[in-house]
């Protein structure tokens, strides 16, 4: 199973096992990674699973979809590499993926 | 024990015996008397997307299941919030007293106006406000009467949320009670008696507009400050609003920042009183507040519904909603949907995934102040637990006559001395 790393705003790293076919958000929630709230449970309707994808991984995580752009529009700290982790489906190619988290999820 | 459907009495019997096409959940009295939940339970089971052809608010659809509500709430292309179609409450305001605000507006104008004020609740601003919120909460709690009955709503919930709002607007402190008054006037059902006519409502809201216009004029020429008025005065998206739009956004921010948290703060005392096992758990482990706070907000559901208007035909839950139809998402029902939330009628402060509730809405109109609301509730409970052994509710609560604001007006309590 691919391993992915979530890095909190304060620098604490959490490396967890992700399940192929599930979302990156679920990898965080299922492993109790703090800082991914996922209030809507993966419906792309709340922007509380916001992450920053490390630049070298952007090619493998794809680009934001339309609903994601609309929700990220209101996040507190949006960057060009902002994604909603519920919209990234884990594949074998994601082994080693690193994402950073914002200061808070809104 | 909880707020759930009461044992079958006459009215519950009616909820289950009325023909489906006679069920009209829009009546304020149902919510005032806490009789609404059995009706919604029946609708979720028998007719989850329900058409009511005739009500005081005209015909409307009720969306009662959690997942259907998420689907409608996140489909803002089909389901409009715009005030020109009637806005975001089941009541259609008369065109002459209808006004825009960013909650009652569609993209892209909504997006720009919302972004003008949303930095007020950005993480750094929340951190900046935390100490002040704690200090004010402590002061209010320390001054409460001991060993005698008082109204928790008035002395704590209203006071703390009014103070918070005054800080957010940088509103003259000595006049802050005007904010509560305007909030109540803006949302009151005429039948509830806060105002007697729409004309009276408009007169009082005109005073609100005049007061805030004076403040605006001071701030528009001053340096930018981190308060809601300065933010609107200095943002390109909001600095040229018409007086009506300005008033619309003021009401939105006042009601959104006041009424909702107030009622969750009142509800929380009632829920802890009625669920002593949960309160005992919290006292033993105050860290559970992280999950207790979203559970309080789910259980209270301070706004019972949000309304949309269909811009095209759309199927939801097997029913076809027609272009132009009024669609009401009953958050209070989705939050009790047992296909989405386990044992939803129980108040459980350490439930799994407590943040999955509908009270803040979903999609682009999701509550902008949600994290501030949670922080206020968390802090007030942290300070309560430091000071009081328990808060006894000593009489029946009085609730608001409204199918929109799910509110508590009077909650008699005693804190032993």
- B377: domain CATH number is 1.10.630.10
- Closest CA of chain B from A50, distance in Å: 14
- In-domain check, residue B5: no
Identify the pLDDT of residue B9.
47
What pLDDT is attached to residue B8?
Answer: 44
Q: What is the pLDDT of residue B143?
A: 98
Which of A44, A102, A104 shows the shortest C-beta gap to B371? A104
* Beta partners for residue A97, in sequence order: A4
Q: How far is B363 from chain A (nearest CA, A)?
A: 4
Query: What is the domain count for chain B?
Result: 1
Determine, for residues B123 and A41 on separate chains, whether the beta-carbon distance falls below 8 Å. no
**Chain A residue closest to B110 (CA)?**
A74
Q: What is the pLDDT of residues B295-350, one digit of tens each?
A: 999 999 999 999 999 999 999 999 999 999 999 999 999 999 999 999 999 999 99
Closest Cα in chain B, distance from residue A76 (Å): 6
Report the complex ipTM. 0.90
Residues of B in contact with A104 (CB under 8 A): 122-123, 126, 371
pLDDT at B5: 47
Give chain A positions within 8 Å (CB) of B368: 74, 106
Let me know if residue B117 belongs to a domain: yes
Tokens representing B30 are 């149902």
Token pair recorded at residue B123: 């993480």
Has residue B4 been placed in a domain?
Answer: no
For residue B327, give the nearest of B43, B90, B20, B76 by alpha carbon: B90
Determine the pLDDT at residue B193: 84
Chain B residues near residue A67 by CB distance under 8 angstroms: 74
Q: Note whether B11 contacts A: Cβ–Cβ < 8 A.
A: no
At B11 the pLDDT is 54
Question: Which residues of B fall within a CB distance of 8 Å from A76?
Answer: 118-119, 122-123
Which three-class secondary structure string do you get for B74-126?
A: CCCCCEECCHHHCCCCCCCCCHHHCCCCHHHCCCCHHHHHHHHHHHHHCHHHH
Give residue B95's domain range: 10-414
Out of B118, B353, B360, closest to residue A74 by CB: B118
Whether A101 contacts A52, CB under 8 Å: yes
Region for residue B353 given its phi and psi (left: phi exceeds 0; alpha: psi -120 to 50; beta: otherwise): left
Distance from CA of B281 to the nearest CA of A (A): 22
Asked whether the beta carbons of B4 and B345 are under 8 A apart, the reply is yes
Closest Cα partner for A105 from A43, A50, A25? A50
Q: Within an 8 Å CB–CB cutoff, is residue B124 touching chain A?
A: yes
Kindly state the tokens that stand for B225: 């400050």
Residue B94 has what pLDDT? 76
d(CA B372, nearest CA chain A) in Å: 10
Give the pLDDT score at B54: 95
Q: What pLDDT, on a 0 to 100 scale, did the predictor assign at position B99?
A: 85
What pLDDT sits at residue B224?
93
What length is written for chain B? 417
For chain B, which ranges sit under pLDDT 70?
1-12
Say if the Cβ atoms of B124 and A103 lie within 8 Å.
Answer: yes
Other Cβ atoms within 10 Å of B361 Cβ, number: 22
The reported pLDDT for the residue numbered A106 is: 77
Enumerate the β-bridge partners of residue B306: B329
Does 3.10.20.30 match the CATH number of domain A3-100? yes
Q: How far, in Å, CA of B379 to CA of B156, rounded? A: 13
The continuous run of DSSP H or E covering B370 comes out as helix B370-387
Nearest by CB: A43 against B74, B114, B368 = B74
Query: Between chains, do A106 and B362 touch, taking CB under 8 Å as contact?
Result: no
B91 assigned to some structural domain: yes
Which pLDDT value is given to residue B12?
A: 57
pLDDT of residue A104: 87
Task: Tell me the per-residue pLDDT of B141-188, one tens digit each, with 9 for 90 and over.
Answer: 999 999 999 999 999 999 999 999 999 999 999 999 999 999 999 988
Q: How many residue pairs bridge chain A and chain B with CB atoms within 8 Å of each other?
A: 62
């Amino acid at each position: 199973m691919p391993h992915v790393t979530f890095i909190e705003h304060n620098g604490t790293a959490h490396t967890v096992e992700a399940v192929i076919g599930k979302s990156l958000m679920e990898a965080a929630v299922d492993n109790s990674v703090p800082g991914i709230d996922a209030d809507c449970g993966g419906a792309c309707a709340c922007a509380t699973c916001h992450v920053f994808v490390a630049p070298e991984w952007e090619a493998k995580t794809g680009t934001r979809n339309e609903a994601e752009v609309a929700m990220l529009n209101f996040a507190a700290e949006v960057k060009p590499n902002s994604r909603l982790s519920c919209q990234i489906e884990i594949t074998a190619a994601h082994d080693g993926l690193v994402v950073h988290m914002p200061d808070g999820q809104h | 024990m909880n707020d759930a459907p009461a044992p079958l009495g006459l009215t519950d019997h009616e909820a289950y015996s009325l023909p489906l096409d006679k069920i009209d959940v829009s009546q304020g009295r149902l919510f005032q008397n806490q009789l609404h939940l059995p009706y919604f339970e029946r609708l979720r089971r028998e007719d989850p997307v329900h058409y009511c052809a005739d009500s005081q608010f005209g015909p409307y659809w009720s969306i009662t299941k959690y997942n259907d509500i998420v689907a409608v709430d996140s489909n803002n292309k089909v389901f409009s919030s715009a005030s020109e179609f009637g806005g975001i409450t089941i009541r259609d305001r008369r065109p002459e007293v209808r006004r825009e605000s960013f909650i009652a507006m569609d993209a892209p104008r909504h997006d720009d106006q919302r972004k003008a004020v949303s930095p007020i609740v950005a993480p750094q601003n929340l951190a900046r406000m935390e100490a002040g919120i704690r200090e004010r909460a402590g002061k209010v709690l320390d001054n409460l009467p001991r060993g005698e009955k008082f109204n928790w709503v008035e002395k704590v919930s209203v006071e703390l949320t009014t103070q918070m709002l005054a800080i957010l607007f940088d509103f003259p402190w000595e006049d802050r009670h005007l904010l509560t008054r305007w909030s109540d006037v803006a949302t009151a059902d005429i039948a509830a008696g806060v105002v007697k006519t729409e004309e009276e409502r408009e007169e009082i809201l005109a005073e609100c507009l005049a007061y805030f216009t004076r403040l605006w004029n001071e701030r528009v020429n001053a340096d930018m400050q981190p308060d809601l008025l300065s933010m609107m005065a200095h943002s390109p998206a909001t600095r040229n609003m018409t007086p009506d739009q300005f008033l619309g956004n003021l009401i939105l921010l006042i009601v959104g920042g006041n009424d909702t948290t107030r009622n969750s703060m009142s509800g929380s005392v009632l829920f802890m009183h009625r669920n002593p096992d949960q309160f005992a758990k919290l006292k033993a482990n105050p860290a559970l507040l992280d999950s207790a706070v979203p559970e309080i907000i789910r259980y209270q559901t301070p706004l019972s519904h949000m309304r949309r208007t269909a811009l095209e035909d759309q199927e939801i839950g097997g029913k076809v909603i027609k272009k132009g139809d009024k669609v009401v998402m009953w958050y209070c029902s989705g939050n009790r949907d047992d296909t989405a939330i386990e044992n939803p009628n129980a108040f459980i402060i350490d439930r799994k995934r407590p943040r999955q509730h509908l009270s803040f809405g979903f999609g682009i109109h999701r509550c902008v102040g949600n994290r501030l609301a949670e922080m206020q509730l968390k802090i007030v409970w942290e300070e309560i637990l430091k000071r009081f052994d328990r808060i006894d509710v000593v009489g029946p609560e009085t609730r608001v006559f409204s199918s929109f604001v799910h509110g508590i007006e009077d909650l008699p309590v005693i804190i032993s001395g």
